[in-house]
Amino acid sequence: MPEAVRRAVERTVQSTVGSAGLTRDRAQEIVDEVVRRAEQSAARAGRGVRESVGKASQRQAEAAAGVGDRLREAIPDIRVATRDDLRKLTREVERLSKRIDRLEKQVAKPRPDNRRAKPRSSSRTTRTTR
């Protein structure tokens, strides 16, 4: 092979090898950049998740505190009957029941003639209470 051809082939091979080396270096740079961006995205996503969890925890704590406050405000308005209240109500019901029984017995007794109720005439008007 003549010397000129051999040198041309050597230069072509070196150029190709050099291009391959440059291409490989550039590919490595691209891969490194993709990895760096992915790591940054993951870090941003992690911060976002942590922030979201933190905000959710804060809202939950605020809501829980609000419920407690509202309960404390509402408890005085809620009056549950005590045993004493129930005993008093039971006594009052028994007293009223006895009174009703007495009144029913009085109504059931026949009246003597002189105390018999007089029939009302139809010309009388009845009063209404307002």
Q: How far apart are CA 41 and CA 45, in angstroms?
A: 6
pLDDT of residue 93: 95
Q: What is the pTM (predicted TM-score) of this model?
A: 0.31
* Contact between residue 117 and residue 111 where contact means Cβ atoms under 8 Å apart: yes
Per-domain residue ranges for the chain? Answer: 80-108
Q: Which residues contact 49 (CB under 8 A, 6 or more apart)?
A: none
pLDDT at 74: 74
pLDDT in tens, 59-74: 877 777 777 777 777 7
Which amino acid does the sequence have at 43? A
pLDDT bucket at 130, cuts 50 / 70 / 90: very low
Going from the C-alpha of 41 to that of each of 37, 46, 60, 101, the distances in angstroms are 6, 8, 28, 87
CA torsion angle 41 42 44 49 (round to 10): 140
